[in-house]
Chains A and B, each alone.
Chain A
Amino acid sequence: MSTALYLSTLLAQVGSGRLQGGWEYIWASYAIAWGSLSLYALSLWIRRPKADAASKE
């Protein structure tokens, strides 16, 4: 019984040969990508030529 339990545990650890889960890495990557693009867009807007800012006032 203990041998069968050991084998089933071992096989469960081997798995299907495919990485399981990992969505936290995916969300982190998409957040960093979109965050970086948004922050850079914001930096461009802040640095826009003064004539643009003056024309809106």
Chain B
Amino acid sequence: MNTVLQVISAAAALASVVLGIWLGRKWAPPGSRVNAKPVLWGMTAAAAVLLGLGAYLGLVWAPPEREMGEVYRIIYVHVPAMWMSMLALTINFVCCVTYLFKTSWKTDALAESTGEVGLVFGAYGLVLGSIWGKPTWGTYWDWDPRLTAMAIMLVTYVAYMALRRFVEDPEKRAVWSSVVGIISGVNMPIVWFSVKWWRSLHQVQSTPKTVDPDMTLALRVNAWAALILLTLFLLHRYRIALATREAEVALPEALPTDAPGPHSSRTSEVA
């Protein structure tokens, strides 16, 4: 039963990722006539079922931890949130580097989407970690290397999103935010390896290899559920970003032709 649930949840999540990539290419661009509703509802239903199953496994089925007792059950929402944040921000880093080599509004839109979604997962994941710290460490916050590195990284992504809001010129915004995204991304390996490099109060990374086998199923199901949610969020946010970008780059062409515009060379197509 354990293996069956792991295989089903993994298959559902990986199928959702593949469908998400397909919808990102076919449905997300403005003007698309692809009817994505059945697929989107299917993915949403899969995420809801896995979230419900994950909550049952994490809150009821999994045994208490030897020293932390029941409190450790926060792991099943905290760890998937952090994994999804790191995954989204890694994609953001790749998009930022790619944009500087090959400019594309789609790459810029994906960078914007991953930055925002990664920030959401990372922010609430950090709050959950802080709540977990109170009963186990005796404090909500400690300037421990892992916590500090994660907090700094999130602040840099807040700056990244703020920069995107403040710069009106889409081209300058894309270039500048790519540079900031790369600088922010440099912090990611520091966050990941901080628990290994320094004597950190934070425990080592919780993965199926480092937790008790009885906790693996609940952790995996919750992580797969979070992956489907991440895919759905990225897909919808990417679609919004593409629509916004198209409106921005199309606008100068609507201006009178005698009005000198610095962006007259832009195309109205999201390329």
Contact = CB atoms under 8 A, between A and B. Distances in A.
Co-complex (A, B) = yes
Interface of A: 17-23, 25-26, 28-30, 32-34, 36-37, 40-41, 44, 47-51
Interface in B85-124: 117, 120, 123-124
Contacts of A50: 243
B69 A32 contact: no
B165 interface: no
A49 B132 contact: no
Given A33-B128, A37-B229, A40-B120, A19 B55 contact: no
Given A21-B70, A22-B71, A29-B77, A36 B120 contact: yes
A31 B237 CA distance: 23
A36 B117 CA distance: 11
Interface string B37-51: 000000000000001
A18 B127 contact: no
Contacts of A17: 67
A20 B67 CA distance: 9
Contacts of B134: 25
Interface of B: 30, 51, 55, 59, 64, 66-71, 73-74, 77-78, 81, 117, 120, 123-124, 127-128, 131-132, 134-136, 229, 233, 236-237, 239-240, 243
A42 to B, nearest CB: 11
Query: Could you say which of A17, A18, A21, A28 has the most chain B C-beta atoms within 10 Å of its C-beta?
Result: A18
A29 B128 contact: yes
A20 B132 contact: no
Nearest to A26: B73
A48 B237 CA distance: 8
A18 B240 contact: no
B128 A40 contact: no
B240 A40 contact: no
